[in-house]
């Protein structure tokens, strides 16, 4: 069944909110949206809101997680880790003075790794499944969670990914169809996991970069069967792979510190590679009009625009690099590619830059009022850019080469998960899940 056929079946089987358009791009099936660019082409969410304006509903999410919600049909899917009252055994921990970086949050309690399906109409829990109950083998960064990987859906199944704690395929009613255990990651400085699966043409692709034997693997969506696996010369990275169709071939583009590599989705063969990223690569690449944009921004700055038609073998420093930039690139947030403009945030700061995607011309770099710290990735809808901050404010900027701030909207929460736009609705996930809409 194709994606469009599955969507049509859903539209006939269940009533959708009136705001949902009858097109394959109506929903938000993966964490960077239907186009994998951060854009919701059929959405028109509000420009302004507050705790007392344009909040259709607000519900508390149990546990903790920074996984971005995904939306299909009349359901919003959220992954979370819920602590139980079963305490971890007492163990000796190394002194903070003996390690670099901020202190790690050690697992104090056994966690229930769960997926919740919320009704778009009223925020009620349609169903909830605890998929695994276990004590995490590692800690997380103080700002991290044990549920930072986002789910994906093809309209027939929803795939819940918890990294070391398993991959689970469920039907749309919440029944588990299959599960897969890929082992335990050893993450740099025990900072936690965060790469989400990529979904394309009946295959799930998972990047497994850590301080052990790193690899990338493709699985059959119907069975979980492993189709191919390639070893990778990489340490920990957190970037979600991007799948791009080009000249009859599907490229799986995986960004990391040593190399960015493109793999053939059918076989796993390496098609091209390029150096130039910084350490601790987190942002997911984006693509449009034959160009792939690669970014990173920890202890350095890197932005490369790769021309796919010219990419083969090692393209470092070659003609396949259409343009590059070495300032104000993102650490955690992924870029947004919208209307011929590439938008990036500086490090984890609320400083937004816009570039002409085709030429690399820098249009502006502006600090966003009221949004000082950002982990969430920006999204685009209805000619607007939405940037959600860790302190609960969301800046709304007019899309285009000239900066115009339309609104800054404050809620009583904080957002590390990226916003999601569907129809006339904006979904924000913090300790609560909000549906922002005018109706």
Predicted confidence at residue 103, as pLDDT, reads 83
Mean pLDDT of 37-49: 98
For the sheet with 302-307, list strands across it: 286-288, 291-296, 302-307, 321-325
CB-based contacts of 130, cutoff 8 Å, min separation 6: 82, 112, 113, 114
Q: What is the pLDDT of residues 380-405, one digit of tens each?
A: 999 999 999 999 999 999 999 999 99
Q: Which of 80, 76, 105 is nearest to 16 (CA)?
A: 76
Q: What is the pLDDT of residues 307-331, one digit of tens each?
A: 999 999 999 999 999 999 999 999 9
Q: Which residues pair with 206 in a beta bridge?
A: 217
Q: Give the pLDDT of residue 101.
A: 63
Q: What number is the average pLDDT over the span 167-196?
A: 96
Residues 6+ apart with CB under 8 A from 165: 113, 132, 134, 136, 146
Rounded Cα gap, residues 205 and 227, in angstroms: 10
Residue 386's CB: how many other CB atoms inside 10 A?
A: 29
- Residue 35: the pLDDT is 97
- The answer to whether residue 10 scores a pLDDT higher than 50 is no
pLDDT at res. 21: 43
Looking at residue 411, what DSSP letter applies? -
In sequence order, which residues have a C-beta less than 8 Å from that of residue 196 and are 6 or more positions away?
Answer: 30, 31, 67, 149, 150, 151, 152, 161, 240
Position 106 pLDDT exceeds 70: yes
pTM comes to 0.93
Enclosing H/E stretch for 9: helix 3-13
Tell me what pLDDT residue 99 has: 52
Taking 80 as the threshold, does the pLDDT of residue 3 lie above it?
Answer: no
Query: For the chain, which residues make up each domain, given as ranges?
Result: 3-94+101-436
Q: pLDDT (tens digit, 9 = 90+) per residue, 135-176?
A: 999 999 999 999 999 999 999 999 999 999 999 999 999 999
**19 pLDDT higher than 70:** no
Angle (CA) 179 126 5, round 5°: 65
Predicted local distance difference test score (pLDDT) of residue 92: 42
For residue 311, the model assigns a pLDDT of 97
On average, the pLDDT of the chain sits at 92
Strand residues in 120-259 grouped as ranges (E)? 125-134, 152-153, 157-161, 167-171, 176-180, 198-200, 203-208, 214-220, 226-232, 242-246, 249-254
* pLDDT for res 392: 98
| Contact criterion met (CB below 8 Å) for 97 and 32 | no
Cα 27 → chain centroid = 15
pLDDT at 100: 61
Separation of alpha carbons 25 and 5, rounded Å: 13
Residue 435 to residue 207: CA distance in whole angstroms: 31
Residue-level pLDDT at 94: 45
Give 197-228 pLDDT, tens digit per residue: 999 999 999 999 999 999 999 999 999 999 99
pLDDT at 23: 59
Contact between 165 and 146 (Cβ < 8 Å): yes
Alpha-carbon distances, residue 232 vs 78, 178, 267, 338, 389 (angstroms): 30, 26, 15, 32, 34
Between 31 and 100, the higher pLDDT residue: 31
Query: What integer pLDDT is reported at residue 315 of this predicted model?
Result: 98
DSSP 8-state secondary structure symbol assigned to residue 108? -
For domain 3-94+101-436, the question of CATH label 2.130.10.10 is answered with yes
State which H helix or E strand residue 434 sits in.
Answer: strand 432-436
Percent of the chain past pLDDT 90, that is, above it, reads: 90
Whole-number Å distance between alpha carbons of 304 and 326 = 9
**Would the CA dihedral through 278, 279, 282, 285 be positive or negative?**
positive
Mean pLDDT in residue range 3-28: 48
Q: Which residues pair with 229 in a beta bridge?
A: 217
What is each CA distance from 79 to 117, 145, 173, 190, 239, in whole angstroms? 9, 11, 15, 21, 18
Residue-by-residue DSSP string for 358-386: TT--EEEEEEPTT--B--SPPEEETTEEE
**Backbone angle region of 93, left / alpha / beta, with phi > 0 → left and psi within -120 to 50 → alpha:** beta
Beta bridge partners of 422: 425
73-105 tens-digit pLDDT = 999 999 999 999 999 987 544 434 445 667 889
Please report the beta strands in 233-279, taking only residues with DSSP state E, as ranges in sequence order: 242-246, 249-254, 260-264, 270-274
For residues 336-349, average pLDDT:
98
**Distance separating alpha carbons of residues 172 and 348, to the nearest angstrom:** 35
**In the structure, what pLDDT confidence band is assigned to residue 12 with cuts at 50, 70 and 90?**
very low
Q: Identify the DSSP state of 188.
A: G
pLDDT at site 261: 98
pLDDT digits (tens, 9 = 90+) for 399-436: 999 999 999 999 999 999 999 999 999 999 999 999 99
């Amino acid at each position: 069944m194709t994606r469009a056929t599955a969507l049509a079946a859903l539209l006939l089987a269940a009533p959708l909110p009136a705001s949902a358009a009858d097109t394959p791009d109506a929903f938000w099936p993966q964490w960077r949206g239907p186009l994998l660019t951060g854009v919701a082409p059929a959405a028109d969410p509000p420009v302004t809101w507050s705790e007392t304006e344009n909040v259709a509903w607000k519900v508390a999410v149990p546990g903790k997680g920074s996984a971005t919600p995904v939306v299909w049909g009349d359901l919003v899917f959220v992954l979370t880790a819920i602590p139980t009252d079963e305490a971890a055994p007492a163990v000796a921990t190394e002194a903070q003075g003996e390690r670099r970086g901020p202190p790690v949050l050690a697992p104090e309690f056994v966690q229930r790794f769960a997926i919740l399906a919320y009704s778009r109409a009223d925020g009620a829990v349609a169903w909830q499944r605890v998929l695994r109950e276990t004590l995490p083998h590692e800690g997380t960064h103080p700002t991290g969670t044990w549920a930072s990987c986002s789910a994906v859906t093809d309209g027939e199944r929803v795939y819940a990914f918890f990294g070391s704690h398993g991959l689970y395929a469920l039907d749309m009613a919440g029944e588990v169809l299959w599960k897969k255990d890929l082992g335990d990651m050893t993450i740099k400085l025990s900072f936690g996991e965060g790469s989400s699966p990529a979904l394309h043409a009946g295959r799930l692709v998972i990047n497994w970069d850590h301080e052990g034997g790193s690899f990338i693997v493709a699985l059959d969506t119907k069975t979980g069967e492993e189709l191919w696996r390639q070893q990778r010369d990489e340490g920990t990275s957190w970037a979600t792979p991007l799948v791009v169709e080009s000249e009859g071939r599907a490229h799986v583009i995986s960004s990391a510190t040593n190399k960015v590599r493109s793999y053939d989705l059918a076989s796993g063969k390496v098609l091209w590679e390029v150096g130039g990223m910084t350490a601790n690569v987190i942002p997911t690449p984006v693509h449009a009009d034959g160009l792939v944009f690669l970014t990173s921004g920890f202890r350095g700055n890197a932005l490369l625009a790769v021309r796919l038609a010219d990419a083969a073998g090692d393209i470092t420093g070659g003609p396949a690099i259409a343009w590059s930039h070495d300032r104000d690139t993102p650490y955690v947030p992924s870029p947004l590619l919208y209307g011929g403009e590439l938008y990036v945030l500086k490090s984890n700061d609320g400083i937004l830059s816009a570039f002409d995607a085709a030429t690399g011309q820098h249009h502006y770099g502006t600090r966003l009022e009221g949004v000082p710290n950002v982990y969430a990735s920006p999204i685009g809808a209805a000619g607007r850019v939405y940037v959600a901050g860790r302190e609960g404010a969301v800046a709304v900027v007019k899309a285009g080469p000239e900066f115009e701030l339309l609104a800054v909207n404050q809620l009583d929460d904080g957002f590390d998960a990226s916003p999601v736009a569907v129809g006339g609705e904006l979904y924000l996930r913090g300790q609560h899940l909000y549906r922002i809409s005018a109706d």
